[in-house]
Chains A and B, each alone.
Chain A
């Protein structure tokens, strides 16, 4: 089984990864000269190596090996055809998958990935539409309640997101708060939970602050004199916004999009709680592959594909916002 039975070359691979990292580190320290700074960086570096770099190396190792630890690309073929393992097994037992009518390509993995990307796209879009005006209002100096709203956005984040999501459940249930209220007012009950819309709601709710704050930051830092100058030169409010304020806030938007899109694609748990497990997302699929199906190799391949996809989209965004000006946390 998966008792970390790593053959010698696996250790070599890990060794090389570790060596590369140390080399990178030494290079950074030497470039910075100032010994003091690098000294204080050590605890974090150690943390990074143990909890970020090593796990990544392990994931890569599992993704490219089979259960016996031999190199294989089978796990990636499994991503494309989720029934591949099943068919191999059937053939090994002397069945013919085609003759049984079980020979079709399994679309589970690819389908779930596309569904997750679509959901993440919707979530990011809705967050932007809701978040930009909110940030605009919050950053408006004439609006006295701006600071209060900022605090109101932050307070729910003091609570764990699992709890917040479960709280939504008691609101949306068929006999939940909203439906009970509707019923007592004489309206018909609504089907609010156990579907994709509820999942989307949960996602937007959880990730919206990550859209609002970068935009708020970049709007807040803007030099007011620029928009005043635009007004003086005869631009109306709309033109001022569209030609001055909005373009300058672009880095904030870019980092907001990044910070919402990334966790959205990898969402798990929310579909199980608010979607009733009817709509599995890629994060759930990876979790189930590891924890229920006990297939660490395919699970790692799925994770790796996910990570490459995120890296790719990050790179794309870097092109738009090369300086990372939007106060990005990444």
Chain B
């Protein structure tokens, strides 16, 4: 009897270790931190009876490591443009069946055939936005319109930087007048030197990603480098804050919804993409996370207030002046990583 019991217990133990998500009615979602209205997922579960296993990542680079290591763990991921490009190169994505995603019809024209997914086969845009400076209008002395302010000691010790390789090196490159996609070692090295000096001069308060928006609301620093949606989120909670995309130009990015080729529940993932592209749900998510929606019908619902908000709906001039990130192959990323490591460990 005892033997049987212990055998059963062992079997149970083993079964409980088997990966979750094999079941028919689930979808394993890997998304950015704070990047969806949780109620939207609940509605999806109610409407479809598909259970959502929701997991978070903080930066594109972190996410990519997870997807490469364990490609079958996720059914739906939300990478940025340049990462989608890379995942396509590495043959890690599944071609989407657009007959299952009728709501993707409503995508804005300029996002229909993006450079990162030229034939528009692998991705449906989820949100888009810019990178800029969020600042406290009551504590700055002059109009903020340039990356320059991040590298001068006027606001020493009062600046949050993004703990994200491409964004931080990118804005330094832009300030120096180079492309954010440069592969010139000298330009990259100059950008690194600028960031090292910025840190050694004590200008940087902290390097962080998701914490910045709430800390800015609390008045913890005078300015921070943020993505546009985080900026709008913070402005909604603290009207002293303002957001600007610096005149030297910045980064315009798109986060898409893609399905890994090894996904176990592609059908359910398609259903979720279609659901998230539905105008009313796109509006719900836009209002919750405050990034710009790529859905034309959703913009119609959102109306004047959305269209007149420069943070959510940047002018054509701002977009033309900005760059998309393009894929940097892993070999060359070695150089990026080594330079960023020097910035993070400068004393």
Contacts and interface: CB of A to CB of B under 8 A. Distances in A.
Nearest to A290: B65
A269 to B, nearest CB: 13
Interface in B273-290: none
Interface size on B, as a range, is 35 or more
Contact of B185 (A100, A194, A285): A100
B341 A82 contact: yes
Contacts of B24: none
A174 B189 CA distance: 33
A175 B341 CA distance: 30
Given A102-B189, A173-B218, A278-B207, A89 B334 contact: yes
A191 to B, nearest CB: 8
A3 B207 CA distance: 31
Contacts of B163: 277
Contact of B338 (A3, A86, A191, A280): A86
A83 B338 contact: yes
B338 A106 contact: yes
Interface in B10-35: none
Contacts of A294: 61, 64-65, 68, 330
Interface stretch (B112-120, B198-206, B244-252, B319-327): B198-206
Contacts of B69: 1-3
- Residue of B62, B218, B335 with highest tally of chain A CB at under 10 A: B335
B331 A92 contact: yes
B345 interface: yes
- Residue of A82, A83, A174, A292 with highest tally of chain B CB at under 10 A: A292
Contact of B206 (A85, A100, A194, A285): A194
A86 B186 contact: no
Interface in B53-78: 59, 61-62, 64-65, 68-69
Interface in A1-15: 1-3
A279 B204 CA distance: 12
Contact of A86 (B204, B208, B221, B339): B339
A173 B220 contact: yes
Given A112-B345, A279-B347, 7 more contacts: A83-B338, A86-B335, A106-B341, A277-B207, A277-B344, A291-B61, A292-B337
Interface of A: 1-3, 82-83, 85-86, 88-90, 92-93, 95, 100-102, 106, 108, 111-112, 115, 173-175, 191, 194, 272, 276-280, 285, 288, 290-295
